[in-house]
Amino acid sequence: MGEPHTFHPTLLREYDIRGIVGTTLTTADARAVGRAFGTMIVRKGGTTACIGYDGRHSSPELEEALVDGLVSTGLRVTRIGLGPTPMLYFATRDREADGGIMITGSHNPPEYNGIKMMLGKGPVYGAMIQELGAIAAAGDYATGAGSAERVDVQDAYVARLLKDYDGVRDLKIAWDAGNGATGEILRRLTATLPGEHILLFDAIDGDFPNHHPDPTVEKNLVDLKKAVAEHGCDIGIGFDGDGDRIGAIDHLGRVVWGDQLVAIYAADVLKSHPGATIIADVKASQTLFDEIARLGGQPLMWKTGHSLLKAKMAETGSPLAGEMSGHIFFADKWYGFDDALYCAVRLIGQVSRSGGPLAALRDRLPEVINTPETRFQADEERKFQVVREVKERLKAEGAQVNDIDGVRVQTPDGWWLLRASNTQDVLVARAESSTQDGLERLKSMVVAQLEASGLEAPSFENGGNAAH
C-alpha cells in the first residue's frame, strides 16, 4: 500500500487526463498517475511501458514524476523523449510494450497539459480512467524494483512513415507544425520525402507564438493558406499541438475538412479492401457516408471520441476511420491509431498518383451547405437530460433518428444533430443541407426542440459551402 492520492475532480476526463498545470495538474498528480497506471499494467501481467512528451514547458518535469511512479511499480520504462503523440503510439506497438503514456496538452492553451494512455494495443478511456483514480485514492499500488532507460526512436519512426509513401510525381507542399511537437520529425521526414517542402513554425515552442495549434479551426490556417498561395503549392498540411490531428488546404486555398479527407482516403483504401467497413463519427457530412457506399464500402456512423472510434475499428476490423475533428485512423498498412504525419504521407502519395490536384479529389464530393458546430452552455446533468427529452419527442413524432450519440435527424432537407459534449458542459448542434432554404428549416427545427426543453437556442452561424 502507498500514500492515497485524490485527483482534482476535473482532471480525469472521458478520453484522457487534462488540467491546468500547477492548479488542477501537479507533479504529485503525475507521480500518482504513474503509480496507478503502472499498477494496472502490472496487474494485467505487463512488465514494460514506453513514455514520451510534447513541447510544452511543463512536460519534462511531469515526465520525470511519471517515470518515478511507473518505476516504483516494478516496470521497465523506455523514455522516448520529446515528440508527437503518434510517435509514442508507434514506439509502444513497435517495441511490443505493455503500456504507453504520452504527456501532452494536445491543442489546449499553453497553461494546460495532460496524459494520454494505451494499455496493450488499445486506448485507455472511460471506466479505465476512473479505475486509475480509484487505485490512487486507495493508495493500492503495486511495488517493485523497476528501471528506466532513454531510447531514441525518431529515425525508426520516420523510416516507418516513409515506408508507405507511394507517390509517382513530385509535389510542392507547405507544412505548418504550429510550433507543436511534430517539428523535429517533420524536418527529418521532409528531408527524405520526394518533392519540394516549405516548413512553417517547425520550431517546437510551448508558448505557440504564431497561432493556436488546432488545424480544424479556419483562423489557424491563415499562414498556411498564404504559404500555399505565395509558393504555388499543390497542397498545404497543418498539424495540431501533438500531431494526432491533421488539417489540409488545396491549391485554391480551400480547407479540406476531416470528413472530406476520410472520403478521399476511402477511395484508395477500398481498392485493397473491397466491401470493408469505414467508420466516421456522427458529426460527419452525409456526403461521406454516401461516398463510402458509392465506392462499395459499408459506412458505419459511430460515437464522437478518438478512443471510441479506435475501439470500434478493432471490433469491426475496419481499415479506416475518422472524425470531423481531424483524428483519422488507418489500419490499412498501419496500426489503427491516429497519426497526422502518417495521414499526410498517405494523402501526398494519393494526390501524387491521382494525376490531378487535391482539389479534384475534393470536388468529386457533392457540395453541401452546413453550419459549424454550434456550442452552448447546459450544465453537466441537464445536457444529457435535454438530449433524452428531444429524442422522446422526435420518436413520438415518427422522425428518422439515429441515437448512437445524441440525436441525428434525417429529413428531406438534409440532417441536424444535437449531442452532449463528453469533455465540456455544452450541447453541440450542427445542420447540413443541399440548399440554403433547407438549412434554415433544419436550424429552426433545432431551435424549436431546444425551446421545447426550456433552453435558449443558440444563434447558428452558417459555415462555408464545404462539408465543415
Would you say how long the chain is, in residues? Answer: 468
Per-residue pLDDT of the chain (468 residues; tens, 9 = 90+): 788 999 999 999 988 999 999 999 999 999 999 999 999 999 999 999 999 999 999 999 999 999 999 999 999 999 999 999 999 999 999 999 999 999 999 988 999 999 999 999 999 999 999 999 999 999 999 999 999 999 999 999 999 999 999 999 999 999 999 999 999 999 999 999 999 999 999 999 999 999 999 999 999 999 999 999 999 999 999 999 999 999 999 999 999 999 999 999 999 999 999 999 999 999 999 999 999 999 999 999 999 988 899 999 999 999 999 999 999 999 999 999 999 999 999 999 999 999 999 999 999 999 999 998 888 788 878 899 999 999 999 999 999 999 999 999 999 999 999 999 877 788 999 999 999 999 999 999 999 999 999 887 667 665 433 333
Cell numbers that stand for 395 in this block: 420518436
- Beta bridge partners of residue 344, listed in sequence order: none
Q: What is the pLDDT of residue 12?
A: 95
Show Cβ contacts of residue 371 under 8 Å, excluding neighbours closer than 6 positions.
429, 430, 431, 432, 439, 443, 460, 461, 462, 463
- SS3 label, residue 95: coil
Q: What is the pLDDT of residue 467?
A: 37
- Beta bridge partners of residue 411, listed in sequence order: 414
Q: What is the pLDDT of residue 461?
A: 63
The C-alpha atoms of residue 60 and residue 21 are separated, in whole angstroms, by 12
Longest Cα–Cα distance of the chain, Å, equals: 67
Chain Cα centroid distance, residue 223: 22
Q: Which of 59, 72, 106, 325 is catalytic?
A: 106
Residue 322: its H or E element: strand 320-322
Cell numbers that stand for 224 in this block: 498556411
pLDDT in tens, 259-303: 999 999 999 999 999 999 999 999 999 999 999 999 999 999 999
- For CA atoms 283, 284, 287, 288, give the dihedral sign: negative
Torsion-angle region of 232 (φ positive above 0: left; ψ -120 to 50: alpha; else: beta):
left
**CATH 3.30.310.50 domain range(s) in the chain:** 369-452
Nearest to 406 by CA among 294, 394, 353: 394
User: What is the DSSP secondary-structure string of 159-224?
Assistant: HHHHHT---SS--EEEEE-TTSTTHHHHHHHHHHSSSEEEEES-S--TT--SS-S-TTSGGGGHHH
pLDDT in tens, 379-412: 878 899 999 999 999 999 999 999 999 999 999 9
Tell me how crowded residue 330 is: count the other CB atoms within 10 A of its CB: 23
Identify whether the C-beta of residue 131 lies closer than 8 Å to the C-beta of residue 161: no
Top-level class of domain 369-452: alpha beta
Catalytic site residue 318? Answer: no
Q: What is the pLDDT of residue 458?
A: 61
Q: What is the pLDDT of residue 378?
A: 82
Show Cβ contacts of residue 420 under 8 Å, excluding neighbours closer than 6 positions.
378, 383, 384, 386, 387, 406, 426, 427, 428
Identify whether the C-beta of residue 298 lies closer than 8 Å to the C-beta of residue 291: no
Top-level class of domain 17-152: alpha beta
Q: What are phi and psi of 393, to 5 degrees?
A: -60, -45
- The 8-class DSSP code of residue 4 comes to -
Could you please state the CATH topology (level 3) that the domain comprising 156-362 is classified under. Answer: Alpha-D-Glucose-1,6-Bisphosphate; Chain A, domain 3 (3.40.120)
Rounding to the nearest 10 degrees, give the CA dihedral for residues 304, 307, 312, 315: -170
Q: Give pTM, 2 decimals.
A: 0.95
